[in-house]
Amino acid sequence: MTDMAELRRLGATEIRVSPVGLGCWQFSGGRGLIGGYWEALSRDRIREIVATSLAGGVNWFDTAEAYGGGVSEESLSAALRALGKQPGEVVVATKWWPVLRTAGSITRTIDERLERLGGGPIDLHQIHNPFSLSRIPAEMAAMAELVEEGKIRAVGVSNYSTGMMRRAHRALARRGIPLASNQVHYSLLHRKADRSGLIQAAKELQVSIIAYSPLAQGILTGRHHEDPGLIRSRPGPRKRMPAFRPRGLERSRPLVEALREIGGVHGATPAQVALSWLLGFHGETVLVIPGASRPDQVEENLGALRVTLGEEEMDRLDRLSRP
């Protein structure tokens, strides 16, 4: 169980979250281009996953408008209500979908977000990606308006480059509001955030980095190296990704073998070591939101909090994972 002493501050806000949250993309009901990436989970299974997360000390959940067109938001809200959680008892993050929309859509759609999530305010509202028809200052002005109206508590972005993140930070600062977070693809197999200077800039600006796909869609569990045919039984387009093909698995094999070896020293799985590295290599800057389609996956992910890697182990994984 995560106690208050182990919670991390979300950026420069007063919101405190567990180092491991739960990504809720897989609660999309299998709907839409984005939601179809996962099989549809039953309401009972979703409730079990959320219950296991809460029991293990998770106090925040990340969803999005684009995950099944709001299905993930509704599924998460229903599970929390069924478990006796009222709005405000846990931290809920969601995201506005910007593609082919302008900043005005942020304020026009907020009531739908609040309704699907069962009330408000929303703890963290994020711009899902930078591909809207409006400029960053206009989007941040709309987000600031929602903060001032009390509909959201904090503002985040997602998939923003270093320069974009700095522009968002400046725009919000003019309204006296911190940029809380930047949610990006980050794992030991995806180190762009390091190469681009994004992590260093986040430290400078006091912005939390929220790592999505922290296990590289399951590659860092090592299971696909043990059984390369496993991916054929998985739903969605993952089976067509180069990383899951024989050549891709051979490229990642040395890193996975190191994760397995280090895990043997700590009584941990490769996945737990991979998550522990993300949570420790940059101090408290990085938070992780692995998804889970079964309760036992939640338990394995939370086991990363019991793993403390030594400096030499972290440096070894750093060297192996750099391109």
Q: Would you name the residues annotated as active-site residues?
A: 67
- Rounded CA-CA distance 129/164 in Å is 11
The tokens 């990340």 sit on which residue? 62
Contacts with 52 (C-beta within 8 Å, 6 or more apart), sequence order: 295, 298, 299
Contacts with 176 (C-beta within 8 Å, 6 or more apart), sequence order: none
Contacts with 312 (C-beta within 8 Å, 6 or more apart), sequence order: none
Torsion angles phi and psi, residue 79, rounded to 5: -65, -45
How do beta strands 16-17 and 8-9 pair? antiparallel
DSSP helix/strand/coil, 62: strand
- Rounded CA-CA distance 152/124 in Å is 7
Per the CB < 8 A criterion, the answer to whether 146 and 100 are in contact is no
Both structure tokens of 72? 């993930």
* Cα end-to-end span (Å), the chain: 36
> Using CB atoms within 10 A of its CB, is residue 81 exposed (0-12), middle (13-18) or buried (19+)?
middle
DSSP helix/strand/coil, 157: strand
**Paired strand residues for 190:** 187
- Rounded (5°) CA angle 62-240-188: 50
